[in-house]
Structure 1
């Protein structure tokens, strides 16, 4: 008698959730829960997932369940939370009445505090912290493309083992990690480029190949690293060089950077940041959980973070401007603006 597939619900099935749901569908009973318009596309056309050094995969509508309400998590073994960080508490409260006692909840969101917020709202449930290292963009409705590489990371605890096994069976690279707090701070350090990429209007690789844009990122990272030290947090080493040295690497001349930072530039030529995608779709961004987090942390310790504060200001201005009227910044323009903010 064959063993039943694990039941996995993806709550907040946007770009990351849709991609992971599509990859997991062959090895799990997957329910995507998201906006009505997005779920209607999946019901009609299924899901296509590409990138990540894996063959493209089409998942027909018949191989996925879809829903728009939190009651669809009833009976799930695992619930993956992929909503925007600002919606975490609301999501937890909506889900709470429908979760089985045995259900494991896993946050796969940007930001530092989502797992602890979920634990506070769902004290009877096991909540895992997770980290998605790669960029995913919805290239058109129902089509999700992974534009960069890396392994998913999850809390190294026994409750995570079934999810880790299922992800591995789906050919998704995954690593348990004992210090997810350090991992999330390291991810924030790299995610500080999300807003800069959105302001540039360029594909990620094109933007990162320009020294002036990298210098903007280095300014924000230096502020973040100072705030991390004040908080007593050591960001995990997720790259060959220590986090503290990344701002120095970013300032190398373009030709040198391309030689020594191949891993950073191992990005699909068409990949964009999630902040860029949010602005293009007219959605509120997660800037408060990116440079905004750095500003909040620095403020707690009476440290300056003027470059990060200026980026927050620019992104919030962009949120209020229609895409066809929104200015994009060249690297030299943005760097001059951030340096002026730092004076």
Structure 2
């Protein structure tokens, strides 16, 4: 059942996964008219349990099942004023086709996805629409059926444009800002997202992983390799942490007691937090490894820059997707080859 939005904006969440359910739940709790477009696997849980969203500050809200507007058919897009695309990277082209077939011309589309290039994919299919790239800095953990917990801090950033879309999307507990340098902001988050693979393969929480110097050294070396590739392509990069992007690998390599002091804000993470890739592997779902390490491998190949660590992570995750092992050590990952 839909409610009356305080802004008169009908928001459709295209992709009711962890990020989509959390952001949509926060917007619905604030009084926005929100519809969820998703798969039966998630929507059936929402129909039974309602939608529970919480965060690291202690916020905990449950929306009753009868208050949720849940759809498996893309026809719901016909009434959308704002579409928040939260599908996995590989599903971007498919959701773009659905939006093109059903959404009205005035609908604004915002990509809240991991990786790069999704806004371009959407623009190619939707040339008449206002398309905005976005960056979600925080981690959302599915802790139980229909229960999504935000485990880290940070504000959503979207591309600047006409109107005050950031104000429309900002509600208590969920702040959104606009940037004229959204691609640089996305590259900054992209570099941090390269840790999705090591974390998923480690079997550790993010907090435990960050407190392990061998894991941080692996993260640092992988990031350094990726930075070399991005700089060869003249990619502008804006950090999403207080530490300048070029210094992050140096901070990661510090002894743990010093790292704790220098990177205190990087450790404001719930003990239960793990990356989305870890949850995908645990659930037997395909990951976004091609949009992350796979992207660096392709860009490195274009400039004849070797990417052995990113290639090792890519191969290890692909094997894990096929039922291979996790719970690996940094040394095992450094030497991993396809077929290991």
TM class by shorter-chain length? over 0.9
* 8 Å contact from structure 1 (residues 213, 334) kept in 2: no
Q: Could you give the per-residue CA deviations for residues 283-341 of structure 1, whole angstroms, max 9, x where no partner exists?
A: 0000011111111111111111110001000000000016xxx2411344435x26x99
Match of residue 243 from structure 1: 245
Work out which of the residue numbers 74, 83, 90 in structure 1 matches 2:87: 83
The offset of 1:111, in angstroms, is: 0.8
- 1:65 paired residue number: 69
Q: Does structure 2 retain, via aligned residues, the 8 Å contact 1:210–1:331?
A: no
Matches within 5 A, 1:118-129: 118-129=122-133
Matches of 1:256 and 1:142 in 2, distance apart? 39
Report the secondary structure of 1:138's partner residue.
Answer: strand
Structure 1 CA distance, aligned partners of 2:60 and 2:110? Answer: 26
Secondary structure of the equivalent of 2:41? helix
Paired position in structure 2 for 1:144: 148
Q: Which residue of 1 aligns with 2:211?
A: 209
2:9 is matched with which residue?
6
* CA shift for structure 1 position 213: 0.6
Shift of 1:125: 0.7
Matches within 5 A, 1:159-198: 159=163, 161-162=164-165, 164-198=166-200
Are the aligned partners of 2:205 and 2:272 in contact in 1 as well (CA < 8 Å)?
Answer: yes
Kindly report the root-mean-square deviation, in angstroms, between the aligned alpha carbons of the 2 structures: 1.8
State the Cα distance separating 1:136 from its structure 2 match: 0.5
CA contact (8 A) 2:280 2:287 kept: yes
Structure 1 residues 5 and 53: CA distance shift in structure 2, 3 A: farther
* Correspondence for 2:44: 40
Question: What is the aligned partner in structure 2 of residue 218 from structure 1?
Answer: 220
For residues 214 and 45 of structure 1, do their structure 2 counterparts lie closer, same or farther at Cα, with a shift above 3 Å needed? same
TM-score, normalised relative to structure 1: 0.93
Task: Give a deviation string over 1:47-94, Cα, whole Å, max 9, x none.
Answer: 000114252111112222000121111111100000001110111012
Gaps of 5+ in 1: none
Give the match for residue 117 of structure 1.
121
Tell me which of 125, 133, 136 is aligned to 1:132.
136
* SS in structure 2 of the partner of residue 221 of structure 1: helix
User: Contact 1:29–1:64 (CA<8 Å) still a contact in 2?
Assistant: no
The answer to whether the Cα contact below 8 Å between 1:189 and 1:221 also exists between their aligned partners in 2 is yes
Gaps of 5+ in 2: none
Cα distance in 1 for partners of 2:326, 2:90 equals 26
1:262-281 maps to which residues of 2 (within 5 A)? 262-281=264-283
Give CA-to-partner distance per residue, 1:244-267, whole Å, 9 cap, x none: 111111110111111110111111
Partner of 1:329: 328
